Structure formats: C-alpha cells, structure tokens
Structure 1
Amino acid sequence: MQNFLAPEFQFIHQYIKKLAGKGALGLTDDAAILSVEPEYELVLTADAMVEHVHFFSSDAVDLIAQKLLRCNLSDLAGMGAEPVGYLLTVSLPKHCFNAMWFEQFTSGLQRDQELFHISLLGGDTTSNPHNMVFSLTAIGKTLKNKSLRRNNAQVGDGIWVTGTIGDAALGLLALKNEINDVDGFLTQRYHLPQPRLGLNLVDIASAGMDISDGLIQDLGHLTRESQVGAIIYADQIPLSKQAKILGNSYLETCLTGGDDYELLLTIPQDKEQQAITQSHKANIPLTKIGYCTDQQGSVICYDSNKITMNFKNTGWSHI
C-alpha cells in the first residue's frame, strides 16, 4: 500500500504526536478543544526564539526546546497562572528535518512536560531557507479576577524577587568565552531557566511579572504601568556565589542582563509574612530588594555606599 503521508506529517506522527495531551485530539485535526472550569479564566502568552538571536547554532537541541517552553511557563508564573497546555510552531532549514534532530527536540520537551505537568495541544511545522525559528504559545488558568498584573503596585509596597539575579547574563558571557564558568552553573542557568511555578501569592502580592529583559528594565515596566516609582538597593539583590566570586565589576551585567526568568513582585508590608510562608512552602527563595515610591517613573538603584548607580543600558531590547 502506498504511503500518502507527506514528510511533515511523518515527523509529526513519529515524534510530535507523543507530546500531545487531552484536547489535542491526537493531532489529527487542525485545532484543539480546551475546556476550563467556570470559576477559572485562561491566561495566554507567546514567545519566539530565533537562531543567532536567542540561541547559538551549537546549543544542544533538547536544551533549545526546554528553554523555549520554560520561557513561556515563566510568563504564566509571573501572572500566578497554572499551566494547562501549549501550542508549538517549528520552522527549520531542510537539513534539520531528520530523525536525530526531532528525537532530541521532542525528548527535551517530553522531560519538561513531565516536570511541569503540561502537554502539547497543537501547532505547525514548516521549512525555511535560513535559520531555526520557534514560536510557542502557553496557556494557563487562574481563578477569575485573580491574575497578577503589572498595574496594581502601590506606594509603600515592598519590591521582591525570587531566586538569584544575573546568572543567565553571566552564563552568556561564559558561552562567549569572556568569563570562566568553572562549575558550569552559570551556563546551565542560561540554557535552563527555572520558571517559578507553584508560588501561591493570590491575594498577597499586589503586582508581578517575570524578569526576562533585565531587572532594572522590567522594574521600569512594572512601575510605569502602576504609576509609581521604585528604590532598590544593589547590596540587597540576591546573587549566586558564582556571581559574587566575579566581583562588583559584573554587578551591572547582573542587574541589566536578560534571561533571568525569576519573578519580580510587589507586596504590601502587612502581607510580607504570608509571602514568606508561601515561599517556604514552594521552596522558592524570595528576597526583598526595595520599595515603591510616589515618584512616578523613577527607578533608583543605590550601591552599597548609598550612591545612585547609573547604567549604560537598562536591559535587553527585542528590536
């Protein structure tokens, strides 16, 4: 019997189909069907990754896949959402359409699907004559009117971050052979961000987002939307031991470099202990780095001598 499956569908049937979850209809139709409980609303986010812009050609294929998914899951975490599923578009040069490439790519996604309890709902696969290009749309859910937004920070709220800041930016320098990453920690943080899912701050945090374009720049986004200002203290910003070893000459890189995928949160003073309790429950470190002011549009970072820091660049630009 003649096989009428086009090459694209052969790859989907052999490699992509195993990622499909409930609602994907076995990837046999052109769209998925998604049900959500009436007390919830959907949260959707999309990110693209382009070869030579967001990753190196030499990067392991499974790590590219995992970073693509995790960047989007971080956006969901920044809004306090629980992952439900995702849509994936893959556009590849023809030399990538081979069994080894797809096996590595789907293996990376499969590992993270199991880790974060999410599955594929659908998408598209196509070829292009130049670079690898990926786009992923993640879908999450929150209780109605309970999503964390950027526009509700209040004067006097504390400014908090999860994890450590700047590791991924330093990891990028290591990949460019500009610094020495002795134990591989910084490079790992660049390749595999940790989306901070599971930190339940509903009715605790007043505003939130994830840090993808650099702490200083993203704090500017949050304060602008909330029409407040901010004062933060460089010596209170959590740094990894690897970042500390490099010294103050790399502090600006840590504060303005992209790809952290930690959470940036504002928390009223009377709810700080509740936030700390949730941090312990989720085993996600949470550190206070400053507070919101009434100086709308002003983001001030003081160094250890209480001198205002000035930055050459405030963060990553997408264009």
Structure 2
Amino acid sequence: MTARYSEDELIARLFAPIAGPAGLGLADDAALLPASAEPTVATVDMLVAGVHFFPDDPPALIAKKALRVNLSDLAAKGAEPIGFLLALALPHDWTNAWLTAFAQGLGEDAKAYAAPLIGGDTTATPGPLTISITALGRAPRFVPRAGARPGDAVFVSGTIGDAALGLVLRRDPALAARLPAEARAHLDDRYRLPRPRLDLVAALRAQATAAMDVSDGLAGDLAKLCRASGVSAVVEAPLVPLSPAAQEAIARAPAHFETALTGGDDYEILFTAGPGRDPPPGAVRIGEIVAGRTAPTFLDATKTQIVFGKMSFSHF
C-alpha cells in the first residue's frame, strides 16, 4: 500500500506546480502581489461535502466548482481574476489518487481562467471535506449591489434554474427517468460545473448600475440587490430565460418552476442598467426597478403576482 503524501509532499507535488509567481513556489508564509493602480477585489466561498456537492462527485469537478463560484463573484463586480488562495480540510479517508485528481482539475481551471494559485493551507478534519477559496481580482470600476435606481432595467445572463433542477434530479430518480437523457445530462452538468460569466466583465463595467451573481436563487438574490439599493422591482416571469432542459423538467413537474426561480446555484449575473440600454450578448431583460422598499414582484403571463413559498436557498 502506497503511503499517503505528507503535508509538505502534497504541497510540493500537487499544488506548487499550479502556483503563479506571486505564490513564491508556495515555499513562504504569504503571497507577494505586485502593486497596481487598480483596486483589488476579494471574495471567499466555502464548499462543504454533502451541502454544496455530493461526496462521490469526481474530485476534478469538485475543485473546478470551488474555484468557479468565486470567479463568478469577481465577474459580478467587474473584476478580472489575478489569483486565489486555497484552504483545504481533508477528512480521514482521503487518498493520493483523489487529491491528485483534485489538483489536476484545479490546475486546469487556474490556467483556463488566468487565475493561478498563490497560497493557502491544508489541514485534517474529523468532519466532511471542506474547501475554502479566496479569489482576488482587479477592477478599474467596481460594480456594487447598491446602485440600482427606479427606471433601470433588470437583466440576467444565461439561463436560470438549471443547476437547481439538476440537484432535484439527483434526489428524485423517478423524475429523472421521465426526462430525455440529453436533458438530464445538461441539468446535472450545470449543477456540478458552473460557468463564471467573466465574458460580461467589460459590459458590466461599462453600463451596470448594480450587479451580483445568482448563487442563492434569482428571486432571493434580486431581493438582496433591491434591499442594498433601497428600491424594489417588477419581474415578468415569462421573460426569465429557461433552457430547453429546464422547460422539459418543468413540463413534467410544474411545481418546479418555483424551484428554478428560487433554488440557487445558477452562477449567472443579475444586473441593472439605465433605461434604453441594450443587454450585452448572453443576457436578457426580465423586468424593471421601481421605487419602494418591498420585495420584488414576479408576475405571470396574466400579470398576476406569483407568491413563492420561499425566495431563495438559505443555509440557516
């Protein structure tokens, strides 16, 4: 039986090769970032096995999800990534093979998104696998949540609800069996592997008055943006973009339309922009910011208000 890597060995063999110059070969106590005239943006997200991903998911996909959810936050702020810090709490049953695959997936995304590893920490835990990533970026213009104004249009990128429905299918094999294989695969992929919208960074800097990524559900995250901005919103639910796979799932279980709008894990960008603005490619207008401090109103095709059982996912 091959002995597991020591802490020094796993850093040297698996993580130092994917570190950027600021990480100093992961041989020092801290990273050294070059000075810049642009503001630095920092964000952190923690992922816990059994909460944010299934423990038996492929380790490379777990690593990529952990990095991508942080890159999604940077994108929503108009920031381009410059690197990240990794804190990894490993349970007693980790193996060299698992950790090698994890580091390989992490390195692939670090290269693809020009976001090198620059430092971190590893430790043992009696609890579940826990991954915390702190991502750093730079933005000549930071796009806040607190900037939406009455009359602004509300936009969202991509499609909404795919990841939440992918999670539903993992938990409901009977519903999954009623969907075409292609639809099942699409929804599962969106749950396991977010697509950070770094392609929208330039457009957000140029025209967004407020923005955030959709991590806890469109309805709830719009409510957060509105609270921060001191406004409300009206959304036309039929305008919310749904993928063909999501439409297939909702057609078979209509109650999951609410899941799509409130379930979370989309990692798309929700943003507002002044009247008359055309959305950038990949985004659509779904509503309007209005005066007031009430929760956003969602209207169906008959202009009747939709009442949700809950607005978003919450850990507590």
| TM-score for the superposition, normalised by structure 2 | 0.93
- 1:300 maps to amino acid: T
The residue aligned with 2:57 is 59
Q: In structure 2, how many angstroms separate the alpha carbons of the residues matched to 1:158 and 1:221?
A: 16
Q: In structure 2, how many angstroms separate the alpha carbons of the residues matched to 1:16 and 1:206?
A: 38
CA offsets per residue over residues 66-112 of structure 1, 9 Å max, x none? 0000000000011010000000000011220x320111101111111
The residue aligned with 1:155 is 150
CA offsets per residue over residues 190-214 of structure 1, 9 Å max, x none? 0000000031121311000000000
Give the drift of 1:162. Answer: 0.2
1:186 matches 2:181: no
The residue aligned with 1:94 is 92
Name which of 133, 138, 158 aligns with 1:141. Answer: 138
Give the drift of 1:129. Answer: 1.6
CA offsets per residue over residues 283-312 of structure 1, 9 Å max, x none? xx1100000001223310001111100011
Task: Determine helix, strand or coil for the equivalent of 2:64.
Answer: helix
Question: Where in structure 2 are the equivalents of 1:296-307 lying within 5 Å?
Answer: 296-307=293-304
The residue aligned with 2:160 is 165
- 1:198 maps to amino acid: D
Give the drift of 1:217. Answer: 0.4
The residue aligned with 2:105 is 108
Structure 2: tracts of 5 or more residues without a match: none
Structure 1: tracts of 5 or more residues without a match: 1-5
The residue aligned with 2:272 is 266
The residue aligned with 2:78 is 80
Task: Determine helix, strand or coil for the equivalent of 2:293.
Answer: coil
Q: In structure 2, how many angstroms separate the alpha carbons of the residues matched to 1:190 and 1:72?
A: 15
Q: In structure 2, how many angstroms separate the alpha carbons of the residues matched to 1:32 and 1:298?
A: 42
1:318 matches 2:303: no
The residue aligned with 2:260 is 254
The residue aligned with 1:205 is 208
Name which of 172, 175, 179 aligns with 1:177. Answer: 172
Task: Determine helix, strand or coil for the equivalent of 2:191.
Answer: helix
Q: In structure 1, how many angstroms separate the alpha carbons of the residues matched to 2:31 and 2:199?
A: 26
Give the drift of 1:174. Answer: 1.3
**Count of residue pairs the alignment pairs up:** 301
Give the drift of 1:130. Answer: 2.2
The residue aligned with 1:3 is none
Task: Determine helix, strand or coil for the equivalent of 1:253.
Answer: helix
Task: Determine helix, strand or coil for the equivalent of 1:230.
Answer: strand
Give the drift of 1:249. Answer: 3.0
| TM-score for the superposition, normalised by structure 1 | 0.92
Q: In structure 2, how many angstroms separate the alpha carbons of the residues matched to 1:163 and 1:18?
A: 34
Q: In structure 1, how many angstroms separate the alpha carbons of the residues matched to 2:255 and 2:168?
A: 13
The residue aligned with 1:19 is 18
- 1:214 maps to amino acid: G
Contact 1:82 1:197 in 2 (8 A): yes
Q: In structure 2, how many angstroms separate the alpha carbons of the residues matched to 1:36 and 1:168?
A: 38
Give the drift of 1:176. Answer: 1.2
The residue aligned with 1:37 is 36
The 4+ residue runs of structure 1 with deviation greater than 3 A are none
Task: Determine helix, strand or coil for the equivalent of 2:22.
Answer: coil
